[in-house]
Structure 1
């Protein structure tokens, strides 16, 4: 567990929390919204730890009794709301863990903090039950709703919470983290950062994934040779992809980055703009034989394949249509 200074990026949210604590203007309810892996839990923990710290209101001291309880995940005044059903947080979960306990004063701190992860899973009844507490909370209570989709909250919930949205990190920050903390070389780190689209958690996960490394190596071989594939080889490749790759949308993301590089190089002729700098010769060769309209058609076909997969169209058929467009253009 870390303080604010150990969290990469999200400076505006960290500043908001710091100032709220410093000036005694902590709200009774917050929504932290962002993709899975972007740091919502880390921010919530840092906020809770700093708010409850006995010595500091800017960063947790890591030494006081409260900080040590937080570090051991054993603070009596920080309640993580759990739920037995994986797909939903029911009204009983909220009533038993929040509503029925919130009037009990904090054991050892000035605040009592409730953290509801995956809060978008609350049913309408659960949200209405929570609303009664948010409308008239005890002065010491703070409720943090962590969500990947705040649009699923009732308007009445949204209107009574301070909404803080996590933004994607700059690729340069992620590259720096991957090279310094995970010892990736700069080219590999750049590709992972671009693939992660500003999500540090996702970047760290795929950087250490053997499955992702195998997928990228296989896809690179396919993308560099697709123009020479005959029909039989192309169909065999598609069958292999649907059998071996668990997430075809990740494959499409990778293909999109590849063709983005080809298009970018065709426009700029500058290899420094490339994500796949190590593949300069292959990108240069494909670029020379591809037209602007052709590359735009390929990128459009990738988007269409993503839509088809989302609509549960036959996977092999969706990839066949994509591969034919890639081969022709």
Structure 2
């Protein structure tokens, strides 16, 4: 259970001005990053959280654990933030909740951000991180990949590249409101967290001089066959809801076993506020349980 339960309307009222100020396309991305890191202090991690700063795939990363862990499996976590903001610091609490639920270390990668490092820098970093985990002795089917928003899209793009280039399949994909086609223009101007001008600025910054039809940039346009079991969560009121339901439909049509949780009354990546909101804590536990089951040895996994 969360440390402190607050009514959802109270949390929404508090978050609304925060995100309006913080995710503003008129602010330099450097300022947005600083504001996000500063604001993350309100996102409390579970008791017993241990954070170790490491290097992974040539990039800084955090290895997050809570209590005793099994090091025979791990989660590679790719944070959200429109490929332009966000860091292991902003997503430390979410990583800790997943570490607690899975009983495994969660590795949060500090991949390179746009516009300084446009596509495919983030994907290259994610690929290098996964391959280094394999070099450490983790089998690919003992590494789950999870991410939120842009990090969810990056997770899907990584799984496609691992399949196509390396013949590897992660244990599972855990996707929180994944942004899998940055070409798609939202039909509304904003939800509680994301607004259209900011998301378009992020999409342009990430693409740079690239090709928007490249499936590494927009993995929803790619071949989804042969991907691992996938979990997707989205709230009905967020801008990415329609894109997420399309992804789920196309995954299932491609024969990928897919679990989909649709919430109502939450907000984009509410898992970051799991310490404050019981419904957010519940769906965070649900994702953690999905990943935990996927990371269990094959002979002991639940069937069905």
Question: TM-score range with shorter-chain normalisation?
Answer: under 0.3
Q: Which has the higher helix share?
A: 1
Q: What is the TM-score of this pair, normalised by structure 2?
A: 0.27
Greater strand share, structure number: 2
Greater relative CO (CA pairs within 8 A, separation 6+): 2
Relative to the length of structure 1, the TM-score reads 0.26
